[in-house]
Amino acid sequence: MAKVHCFLRTAFRRSWIAEPLVDKLTRGKAVYQQKDPFTEEETTLILDEALKLTGGTHAYAKHPITFRLLLELMIETGMRVGDAIRYDPAKVTRGEYLWVYNYVHQKSRRTEQPKSIEAYLDDRLKTAIDKCHWLSASRPFAFGEFRNPNYLASEVYYRMQTIGQRTGVTDCRPHRLRDTFAVRLLLSGIPLEDVARLLGHSSVKVTETYYAKWIAARKKRLERLLAERRPAEALVNS
């Protein structure tokens, strides 16, 4: 709606239209869909089934291990599917505890200064990706021209839809892997600001809006832990 408003204001100012139609529009309040992660059981089913999608002649169909690692990369780092497909091992450096991958996410606005995001890989995942069959000379998960990441993202989407049909996992799509990563961190006690940073959100408010119910669940968990600790403290003091 913001883009429509901007266009209509510009159109009227430049005399493309005869009347200020923008004044007749009613701004609607944005409604954010609450994110829903996969359960641990669903995650296991998805990863196991990914290895069974064989029988093709090229790319993901011919190399199911590579495809499964792509899904694991999204679960372990929270990267969007387009960014995960373009994962470049040459940009990975060794941190003190984990491997650090710096990238600029594709959803960045062209008018903004590109902001680098850090994703973290453990030794197991980093080594598995390095040793798997790469689909191109420089990138493990991208093949063909891959200048249009939407095409490859659609390939991943449709394969996950097939996995969902075979396993009974409803709404089986790539972005829920990112949601699973975020909710896991929130429930494990990682600060909201750090989760927002890892997701590449423009502000903490965005993360808080999308994952509101999971933040509430975390608060209840913290309250329960404190309540369980109080009786033990009382016994010690007595």
- Domains of the chain by residue range: 1-31, 40-228
Residue whose structure tokens are 């329960």: 224
User: What's the CATH superfamily of 40-228?
Assistant: Intergrase catalytic core (1.10.443.10)
Task: Look up the pTM and report it.
Answer: 0.79
Summarize pLDDT for 37-95 with one digit per residue, the tens.
999 999 999 999 999 988 777 789 999 999 999 999 999 999 999 999 999 999 999 99
Q: What are phi and psi of 38, to 5 degrees?
A: -75, 150
Q: In the sheet that 99-104 helps form, which strands lie side by side, from edge to edge?
A: 92-94, 99-104, 116-121
- Segments in the chain below pLDDT 70: 27-34, 107-113, 145-149, 231-238
Radius of gyration of the chain (CA): 22
